[in-house]
Amino acid sequence: MMGLNRQKIIIVNYGMGNLGYIHNMLKYIGHEAFISADTDEIMSADKLILSGVGAFDGGMKNLNEGGFLFPLEKKVLDDKIPILGICLGMQLFSKRSEEGRLPGLGWLNAETVRFSFGDNAGSLKIPHMGWNTMTVEKNDPLFSRKKKMTPFAAECPTIFASILSIPSICCVPMKKTSSAALSTAINLPPP
Domain layout of the chain by residue ranges: 1-109, 115-191
How much is the pLDDT for 137?
60
> Where would I find the H helices in the chain?
19-28, 39-43, 56-65, 69-73, 88-92
Q: Is 126 helix (H, G, I), strand (E, B) or coil?
A: coil
Residue 15 has pLDDT above 80, yes or no: yes
How much is the pLDDT for 25?
87
How does 2-36 read in b/e, with b if 16+ C-beta sit within 10 Å? Answer: eeeeeeebbbbbbbbbebeebbeebeeeebebbeb
Residue 21 has pLDDT above 90, yes or no: no
Whether this prediction's pTM lies above 0.85 is answered by no
For the domain made up of 1-109, the CATH class stated in words is alpha beta
Count CB atoms within 10 A of the CB of residue 45: 24
Residue 10 has pLDDT above 70, yes or no: yes
Q: What is the pLDDT of residues 144-176, one digit of tens each?
A: 554 444 333 333 333 333 344 445 666 666 666
Beta bridge partners of 96: 111
How much is the pLDDT for 161?
36
Question: What phi and psi, each to the nearest 5 degrees, are found at residue 187?
Answer: 60, 25
